Amino acid sequence: MLAVDKLHAWYGRSHVVQGISLEVKAGEIVTLMGRNGAGKTTTLRTVMGLVARRAGSVRFDGAEILSEPPHRRFRRGLGYVPEDRRIVPGLSVRENLRLGLLASPRLREEQRLIERIAGTFPRLKERIDQDGTSLSGGEQQMLAIARAMMSEPKMILLDEPSEGIMPVLVDEMFALFRKMKESGTTILLVEQNVERALAISDRAYIMDHGEIVFHDSAANLIANQEIQERYCSI
Amino acid sequence: MADVNLFLLQLFTGLALGSVYVLLATGLSLIFGMLTVVSFAHGAFFMVGAYIGVYQYGVTGNFWISLVVVPLVVGTVGLLTERFLVRPLYGRGIDYPLLLTFGLSYVLIEIVRIFFGVQGIPISTPEGLRGAVNIGVGHFPLYRLFLIVATAVVVGGLWLFIERTRFGLIIRAGARDPEIVRVLGIDISRVWLLVFGLGTAIAGLSGILAAPIRAVTPEMGIPVLVESFVVTVVGGMGSLAGAVVAGLLVGVVFSLTSLYAPAFAETSIFALMALVLLVRPQGLLGRAGLMG
Ligand SMILES: Nc1ncnc2c1ncn2[C@@H]1O[C@H](COP(=O)(O)OP(=O)(O)O)[C@@H](O)[C@H]1O
Ligand SMILES: [Mg+2]
């Protein structure tokens, strides 16, 4: 589904992603882990087309997309939930959800799709006409995920979805990722919550100083305390 | 009693004058709020709108056609300006498009001088909008009343467009967070193109609407640009509601000082701006820190 090969990315002159390769197969959940500042967010942003200076190859669903603008990548079925949620202030929950449908041919089915999303996210339904930024941090995260799921992308990139969220909601969220996988969505997940992430993942990559330093099945990594401590201890 | 009526009439004159500012500042704010481009060509687009409108009026003898043709033509000039002149400058800092549009305004002024001469051209008040009507406190020029109503219609239409349509939602979201709109599948460069065209079209429309109450000359846009910036600063850069409130306020302040202290009329709006900046640096309805 997604094949990243020798990908580089720079912010100005600082070389943040230094030739990483990784793959996510259709239907998988793959976790990208690593310390703060390792380059995980930059990797996702580059895959989504938000970093101007980049080189290498990003293939999605069979096509090379490295130089495509973000909106084309979205239209190919690549969804993205950024690190800081980015609920648009001044817009209601409904309008935030609608944003996720604007570029989709299914805009006409909005009401039905919002109802369906409401089934998965009852909290959002209760607050559908409130300003999106009036929700709690966890609810905003749910809204950001729901918004990205409105158009039913083939694959979704999630950047630290559990960060700063109440434990009850974290449970709910990881259960949701499992459900998303069951319904066929491919997921590339960046998480600091290593234990929880590995529990639902098929495979994992560990990133450090802009490079992939380790890669294994989730099951093996769960057992490998040494690697976890070396690269992921916070 | 006579004094009160005079005051109220002058207030209405201020609202009519302010209507033009409202339209200009709305376009400026829309463009700034969305593209972070400060369009110094806004006054020139206003002037071009007046010229095209007056010319068209002269040819057909029908003023109403100008109200349709002008926004279309000037809007198209705006689309071309964004696409070929402004777009290459995105990502380079706010001063690049500012200098470019500043230069463009002088090019437009020169083009108009070549075609229409340096003297300016006359326009008579459109038929059907001449004379005055009694508005209770005295007789008020019908055209100025029309100006207030026309502005209300344009602003109301724009408000509905922004609040109720799909494209309006993109504008509201894109002004706050362009990146999230892009990753949700919207081609933001197309949105910027259309918003620049829309703001410019409104500037052109305000030019032809203002033409019957102002002298139509190649330089007519220069003071208007300055005044429109005063309005956007008073209202808050990027705020549409602010453009409406501040536009009317500036018009009324100008017109009342013209009545009671004519020597200070020109300075009064700058004094108002200084006062607002002291009390609320982000403008009456602006968001703090928009300019970073
Ligand atoms: N917009 C930016 N401009 C310059 N440097 C940045 C920017 N964003 C991130 N960086 C730097 O790039 C490196 C990787 O950051 P990031 O991708 O956010 O890491 P992670 O998500 O793994 O914590 C860090 O050293 C960070 O300081
Ligand atoms: Mg990060």
What pLDDT, in 10s, does the model give residues B13-37?
Answer: 999 999 999 999 999 999 999 998 9
What average pLDDT score do residues B40-69 get?
Answer: 97
Does ipTM surpass 0.90 in this model? yes
Mutate to test the interface with A, among B184, B189, B287 (most CBs of A within 10 A): B184
Predicted local confidence at residue B19, as pLDDT: 97
Print the domain residue range for B27.
10-125+139-279
Predicted local confidence at residue B288, as pLDDT: 58
pLDDT above 70: residue A214: yes
Of residues B178 and A106, more confidence is placed in B178
B167, closest residue in chain A (CA to CA): A102
* Set of chain B residues whose Cβ sits within 8 Å of the Cβ of A48: 183
Are B243 and B287 a contacting pair, CB within 8 Å? no
Ligand 2 center–CA B123 separation, angstroms = 62
Ligand 2 center–CA A36 separation, angstroms = 6
Ligand 2 center–CA A163 separation, angstroms = 10
% of chain A surpassing 90 pLDDT: 74
Tell me the domains of chain A and their CATH numbers.
Answer: 2-231 (3.40.50.300)
Q: Looking at CA atoms only, how far is residue B291 from chain A in angstroms?
A: 17
Does residue A34's CB lie within 6 angstroms of at least one atom of ligand 1?
yes
CA distance B55 to B216: 11
- Tell me the per-residue pLDDT of A20-54, one tens digit each, with 9 for 90 and over: 999 999 999 999 999 999 999 999 999 999 999 99
Q: What is the pTM of this model?
A: 0.92
Residues whose CB is less than 8 angstroms from the CB of residue A71 and which lie 6 or more positions away in sequence, other chains included: A103, B182, B183, B184, B185, B186, B187, B188
Predicted local confidence at residue B1, as pLDDT: 57
Has residue B5 been placed in a domain?
no
DSSP string, B227-288: HHHHHHHHH-TT-HHHHHHHHHHHHHHHHHHHHH-GGGHHHHHHHHHHHHHHH-TT-SSPPT
Predicted local confidence at residue A234, as pLDDT: 55
- Tell me the per-residue pLDDT of B128-172, one tens digit each, with 9 for 90 and over: 999 999 988 889 999 999 999 999 999 999 999 999 999 999 999
What average pLDDT score do residues B36-51 get?
Answer: 96
Predicted local confidence at residue A169, as pLDDT: 87
**What are the tokens at A165?**
């969220």
**DSSP conformation class of A213:** E
Has residue B61 been placed in a domain?
yes
What average pLDDT score do residues B240-249 get?
Answer: 95
CA distance A64 to A58: 6
- Tell me the per-residue pLDDT of B164-195, one tens digit each, with 9 for 90 and over: 999 999 999 999 999 999 999 999 999 999 99
% of chain B surpassing 90 pLDDT: 87
Predicted local confidence at residue A117, as pLDDT: 81
Which range in A70-74, A116-120, B175-179, B262-266 is most confidently predicted, on average pLDDT?
A70-74
Ligand 2 center–CA A38 separation, angstroms = 8
Predicted local confidence at residue B289, as pLDDT: 46
Predicted local confidence at residue A233, as pLDDT: 67
Alpha carbon dihedral A170, A174, A177, A183, in 10-degree steps, equals: -120
Q: pLDDT band at A121, cuts 50/70/90?
A: confident
Q: Looking at CA atoms only, how far is residue B171 from chain A in angstroms?
A: 11
Handedness of CA A173, A176, A180, A181 (dihedral sign): positive
Does residue A11's CB lie within 6 angstroms of at least one atom of ligand 1?
yes
Has residue B292 been placed in a domain?
no
Has residue B286 been placed in a domain?
no
**Number of alpha helices (DSSP H) and beta strands (DSSP E) in chain A:** 10, 10
- How many structural domains does chain B have? 1
What average pLDDT score do residues A70-99 get?
Answer: 94
Has residue B63 been placed in a domain?
yes
Predicted local confidence at residue A101, as pLDDT: 92
Give me the residue from A52, A95, A102 closest to B185, CB to CB.
A102
- On whether any CB of chain B is under 8 Å from the CB of A90, the answer is yes
Predicted local confidence at residue A227, as pLDDT: 81
Has residue B284 been placed in a domain?
no
**What are the tokens at A14?**
């600082």
Predicted local confidence at residue A104, as pLDDT: 82
* Set of chain A residues whose Cβ sits within 8 Å of the Cβ of B184: 71, 74, 99-100, 102-103, 147-148
Task: Give nearest CA residue, ligand 1 atom 25.
Answer: A37
Quick check: A86 and B172 CB within 8 A?
no
Q: pLDDT band at A225, cuts 50/70/90?
A: confident
Has residue B74 been placed in a domain?
yes
pLDDT above 90: residue B94: no
Ligand 1 center–CA A159 separation, angstroms = 13
Give me the residue from A52, A86, A104 closest to B185, CB to CB.
A104
* Set of chain B residues whose Cβ sits within 8 Å of the Cβ of A46: none
Has residue B3 been placed in a domain?
no
Predicted local confidence at residue A223, as pLDDT: 86
Q: Which of A18-22, A191-195, A225-229 has the lowest mean pLDDT?
A: A225-229
Q: pLDDT band at B291, cuts 50/70/90?
A: very low
Atom of ligand 1 nearest to the CA of A210: 14
A145, closest residue in chain B (CA to CA): B184
Quick check: A148 and B182 CB within 8 A?
no
Residue of B178, B230, B247, B270 whose CA lies nearest to B26: B247
Amino acid at B88: P
pLDDT above 80: residue B2: no
| Axis crossing angle, helix B42-60 with helix B63-81, rounded to the nearest 10 | 140
What average pLDDT score do residues A161-173 get?
Answer: 89
Quick check: A102 and B176 CB within 8 A?
no
